Amino acid sequence: MKLHVILLTSLVCAGLSVKAQLKKDYPIQPVAFTQVQVTDNFWAPKIRVNAEITIPYTLEQCRKTGRIDNFKRAAHTIPGDKMTEYTFDDTDLYKVIEGASYGLQVRKDPALEQYLDTLINIIGAAQEKDGYLYTFRTVNATQPHAWIGARRWEEEEDLSHELYNSGHLFEAAVAHYQATGKRNLLDIAIRNADLLVKTFGFGKEERFPGHQIVETGLTKMYRVTGNKSYLDLAKFFLDVRGPGKKYSGEYNQSYKKVVDQHEAVGHAVRATYMYTGMADVAALTGDQEYLHAIDDIWHDVVEKKLYITGGIGATGNGEAFGKPYDLPNMSAYAETCAAIANVYWNSRMFLLHGDARYIDVLERTLYNGLLSGVSLSGDRFFYPNPLMSMGQHQRSAWFGCACCISNMTRFLPSMPGYIYAQNKDDLYVNLFAGNTADIQLPAGKVRLEQQTNYPWDGKVAITVNPATTNGFSLHIRIPEWANGKPVPGDLYFEADSAVRQPLTILLNGKPVKYKTSKGYAVLQRNWKKGDKVSFELPMEVLKILARDSVTADKNRFALQRGPIMYCLEGPDNKDAVVQNIVVEKNAPVQATYKPGFLNGVTVLEMQGTAASRQLNTDQLTSTAQPVTAIPYYTWANRGPAEMTVWIPYEASAARPKPAPTIASKSKVSASAPNKKMYMALNDQYEPLNAQDKNAMYLHWWPKHNTLEWVQYDFDQEYTVSGSEVYWYDDSPFGDCRVPASWKILYKQGDQWIPVKNNTPYSITKDKYDKVTFEPVKTRALKLEIQLPAENASGIHEWIVK
């Protein structure tokens, strides 16, 4: 074991030897995760599950779904030219190799290392002689994929993803080289990078990447090889973006030059990968214009477009940032990849500025909107991470577009690398987790041993063991939530703005004076072996409110304890219903740790009331009941269920349990294939408008100009004489519009017969369309909808009278 550690250390140092020769870099450097051994009861099991379950599972899925065969077909080692669904599917294999390589850096696994070598040989065989590596073109399919264009790079600014694939190849190659010392994947990456240098630049191919990531991949290649042309190319790919090209626009952040962008727009993953690349290039070149741009964009995101879970990207339309303060909960996209990219970006912002507020955002994302993306079992996943559900959301075993799954496999092993950082003899403690870290400072070697049961307990003890007594500064982050402030800015705030006492820090058991700087408690002294720093972060439950501009969260609060956000979920509450729960703003909350529940979590318990509708009256009934909240990241581990992060404290914000009407008791069927949408028709939720994203809706997108239907099969025979429909219409940006026409039919025997309507079938937006008809006695009604010629349609609610 000692020999393995020595060899591993040598490899890591060799992999980073070039880095020390770089002229410019981040003023603060992260302490590599290979130097940090996590030993706690929170992160250590999750990293182990990723290594033992998620990575093997994802590698097997790459095999079963044909992603490995893509490379074999491109190399013509197996017959056929039928590829997988997306031109970026090659990157799933790259990302899993990256994650597996990170795992090899901390735990030797000869079988896994040998399998990676086999995969790398398969990848290398698909590479063309000049370094081009893109299986969807090299396979020379008789029917080429629609996204790739007639020649190389032709559709790069749109959908081909040639450079996106290269970016993930580069990141995987660097990780594998640093883990094993082998050059087999790195040499493949170098040949590809050299081709890009030869091909792209001002006066050559002047194209920008349609999906950013190649920029950070190139900066990593520069760090390992010292080849400055890679850094220059990364800067070119940023500087060439801008208006006037065929595919320029907000969606891919090319509507302006990058230095002229000051707000977050478009596809959230593309955007945050780009901001991360801008930070890397700025650090390595000293470009101040990049810094001014991403500083402004960061404020725009954190102060106007950030979910309380740390998720970003409010809308599924373009997987994009929404307008300021437009943060719907039911339809929140908050893609897992975007959460991972948000951590990357905020980590870089901290390395540039040394301010704890960036780690505050990173921590919020890490424990909530990112961790929710993978199940406790490690083999079920979320692509979007909504903050409210009626049960229509559930974790999936795989996605056709599997980017979030493979991204999680590469992120989790690197989590220990976010705990510490250093700037000469300033040593930063950013995250709290039980671990042992060996760090080389100019003042000398030091080992830190952190003991804590965080995030369930606020007690933290750090034992400082320098090789010899020496002087350096220890910067301990004081989380803003410990001061009652959930995020920088005023997007969210604590309901009870009580004045809190400064954090007490003990040194060897006695209170010590410290100065504060940029959110850190700074302890400067000559440290000796066995010095112990201890403190206790306040772990009271915070009730968080959103500013009035966030209409989705009006008259609601969210629960936070430590870094953990909470939610109500059906299995823990009466009748498996949570949308009808109301909890008073001043209701006391009890925190209880349950070691055998959801792999061990602290739950929150309180008293509340539940609202229910009644027949033939607008009056609601309200009954008292106990209410239980669980950590948000653990939801949907027991199957699909109702869930909400934002809890109403006013009855007007709740969704009362439906009254037992003809519609609510009916069995729903429809021509729309997604059965999870069917419950929208009879949930008795009154939408605010036709595109209310906090309401459920059924839709037929992407169909156009077709005849569609929904059907109620009643629980018994009824006489009915009227119906009301509220259409879903997300114009002008979405594709759903009110229908071209509609009509009601009733079932008589085995026949469907149109009703004889007494009033016309009106078609309006933002209100119910009502029709009355001659009474019919039936067991079923059908609503037929003719979709518009150029659009789809949808329905919020269908009422039967």
| Mean pLDDT along residues 298-305 | 98
The predicted pLDDT at position 10 comes to 34
CB-CB contact of 293 with 518 (8 Å):
no
**Residue pair 164/211 in contact by the 8 Å Cβ criterion:** yes
Contact 535, 505 (CB under 8 A): yes
Residue 21: the pLDDT is 57
Omega prior to 30 cis, within 30 of 0:
no
**What is the reported pLDDT for 616?**
80
Q: Is 436 exposed, middle or buried (0-12, 13-18, 19+ CB in 10 A)?
A: middle
Determine the average pLDDT of the residues in 66-76: 98
C-alpha distance from residue 620 to each of 73, 614, 682 (Å): 63, 6, 17
pLDDT at residue 537 is higher than 50: yes
Q: What is the pLDDT of residues 441-455, one digit of tens each?
A: 999 999 999 999 999
Average pLDDT score over residue span 460-482:
97
Residue 317 confidence (pLDDT): 86
Q: What is the 3-state secondary structure (H, E, C) of 449-463?
A: EEEECCCCCCEEEEE
Q: Which of 26, 717, 10 is nearest to 422 (CA)?
A: 26
Cα 29 from Cα 737, distance rounded (Å): 52
> How many CB atoms within 10 Å of residue 108?
14
Q: Is 213 exposed, middle or buried (0-12, 13-18, 19+ CB in 10 A)?
A: buried
Q: What are phi and psi of 322, to 5 degrees?
A: -95, -165
For residue 403, name the pLDDT band (cuts at 50, 70, 90): very high
- The DSSP string of 491-552 is SEEESS----PPPPEEETTEE---EEETTEEEEEEEE-TTEEEEEE---PEEEEEE-TT-GG
Q: Note the pLDDT of residue 18.
A: 41
CA distances from 733 to 72, 317, 322, 438, 500 (A): 41, 8, 11, 52, 46
Q: One-letter amino acid identity for 28?
A: I
**Structural domains present in the chain:** 2-418 (1.50.10), 422-477+501-536 (2.60.420), 541-653 (no CATH), 667-800 (2.60.120.260)
Whether 93 and 426 have beta carbons less than 8 Å apart is answered as no
Q: Is the pLDDT of residue 131 over 80?
A: yes
Q: Is the pLDDT of residue 5 over 60?
A: no
Query: Per residue in 312-324, pLDDT tens?
Result: 999 988 999 999 9
User: d(Cα 425, Cα 511) in Å, to the nearest integer?
Assistant: 23
Helix, strand and coil percent figures for the chain, each rounded to 5: 35, 25, 40
Note the pLDDT tens digit of each residue in 702-756.
999 999 999 999 999 999 999 999 999 999 878 999 999 999 999 999 999 999 9
What confidence tens digit (pLDDT) does each residue in 214-252 have? 999 999 999 999 999 999 999 999 999 999 999 999 999
pTM: 0.93
Position 291 confidence tier, pLDDT thresholds 50, 70, 90:
very high
- Inter-residue contact 430 to 31 (CB < 8 Å): no
- Residue 12 pLDDT greater than 60, yes or no: no
Question: How is residue 529 written in tokens?
Answer: 């072996």
* pLDDT for res 8: 33
Say what the pLDDT of residue 500 is: 86
